[in-house]
Amino acid sequence: MDFEQRLKAKKLKVTPQRMAILKEIEAYGHICIEELYEKIRIRHPSTSLATVYKNIAILCDSGVLSEVKIPGHKQRYEINQSGHIHVMCEKCGALEDLHIDFSDFKHNCINASGYDLSGLSAVFSGVCPKCGSASKKAIDSLDRNITESEAMIC
Amino acid sequence: MDFEQRLKAKKLKVTPQRMAILKEIEAYGHICIEELYEKIRIRHPSTSLATVYKNIAILCDSGVLSEVKIPGHKQRYEINQSGHIHVMCEKCGALEDLHIDFSDFKHNCINASGYDLSGLSAVFSGVCPKCGSASKKAIDSLDRNITESEAMIC
DNA sequence: GTATTTGCAAATGATTTGCAGTGCT
DNA sequence: AGCACTGCAAATCATTTGCAAATAC
């Protein structure tokens, strides 16, 4: 993605710190502030936490980034792209984008609520294919129990 | 709702503070910590903020309450009831429950993702009927502009 | 009677701010 | 050159914790 163009379009300056933030978020998909700060420090050790916070705020305000909020988890950030939702695995904590058409669902909600709806912030939770088959094997062989507490927090 | 029974079922003691918290959340539908604390202090002035925090944590853990997280807004809490989503008005900040069947949407997401999905945390944003008609009138008569900045934050 | 819960105060953690200096454009 | 951005330190705001006293059951 051409972040330089997106920044210039928003009249924001292209600084190394800002580019590093965007590239790390792009690379990791969804990331919380501390993780982001750690990643950034690997290549740009002089970057301050305050700068990370300031840029996250500016980039969210200008629509370059968006917040991903999930009950029971820390807030994360992603490159803003409309028209997708998230799925999260309760066992391993995996979080994935799901690009899916939700216009039928949206129209149902418009009819039911009377609101003129546009954007959707949604996270389905469940079990990913990997954990699902692992859990099935465990039950089959009675080897061990998969516990809820294995789920990651951040 | 019979909160005493719900608490006893979870082996939690029925204290005045706890009941006050549950009743206020029930009355307001969705409420953030500070708002809740203010409301509680009206009738139970001796209640401490630490007690509010401790109870919110316990009640969320035990499934009596659930978190409502919305991009750009403070976290709120509601009485836990499965199978509903939220709609929010970007103009006036209204937040409403929407009890709607989303099983078709869920099955689409299961097929598309390979995850075994269950719960959904979702918020549609848009314009409520009240703000929608107000805006329409304003455009019709060119009386004034409805600005985005009128939306509430908390 | 006993374990839980409460309130207080202090500690911790997260985020924001002020400001002087630096670096895009 | 001029304004936006950065880094640092301090300030602020949010949440958690430890502990003694109170209270539910």
pLDDT value at position A76? 97
Interchain contact A62–B (C-beta under 8 A): no
Q: Is A35 exposed, middle or buried (0-12, 13-18, 19+ CB in 10 A)?
A: middle
Nearest to A96 among B69, B96, B113 (CB): B113
Taking the C-alpha atoms of residue A69 and residue A117, their distance in angstroms, rounded to an integer, is 19
Q: Taking CB atoms and an 8 Å limit, are B104 and A104 in contact across chains?
A: yes
pLDDT over 90 (residue B1) = no
Strand partners, B97: B86
Cβ B76 vs Cβ B68: under 8 Å: yes
Where do we find the tokens 């803003």? A80
Taking the C-alpha atoms of residue B21 and residue B24, their distance in angstroms, rounded to an integer, is 5
Predicted confidence band at A132 (pLDDT cuts at 50, 70, 90)? Answer: confident
The arithmetic mean of pLDDT across residues B46-74, rounded, is 97
What is the tens place of the pLDDT at every residue in A61-117?
999 999 999 999 999 999 999 899 999 999 999 999 999 999 999 999 999 999 999
Does A54 contact strand D, using a CB cutoff of 7 Å?
yes
Phi/psi at B34 (5° precision): -65, -45
Using a pLDDT cut of 90, give the percent of chain B over it.
84
Predicted confidence band at A133 (pLDDT cuts at 50, 70, 90)? Answer: confident
Interchain contact B123–A (C-beta under 8 A): yes
Alpha-carbon distance B91 to nearest alpha carbon in chain A (angstroms) = 11
pLDDT value at position A135? 61
Alpha-carbon distance B84 to nearest alpha carbon in chain A (angstroms) = 11
What is the tens place of the pLDDT at every residue in B86-123?
999 999 999 999 999 999 999 999 999 999 999 999 99
Q: Is B143 exposed, middle or buried (0-12, 13-18, 19+ CB in 10 A)?
A: exposed
Cβ A109 vs Cβ A144: under 8 Å: no
Q: Taking CB atoms and an 8 Å limit, are A69 and B66 in contact across chains?
A: no
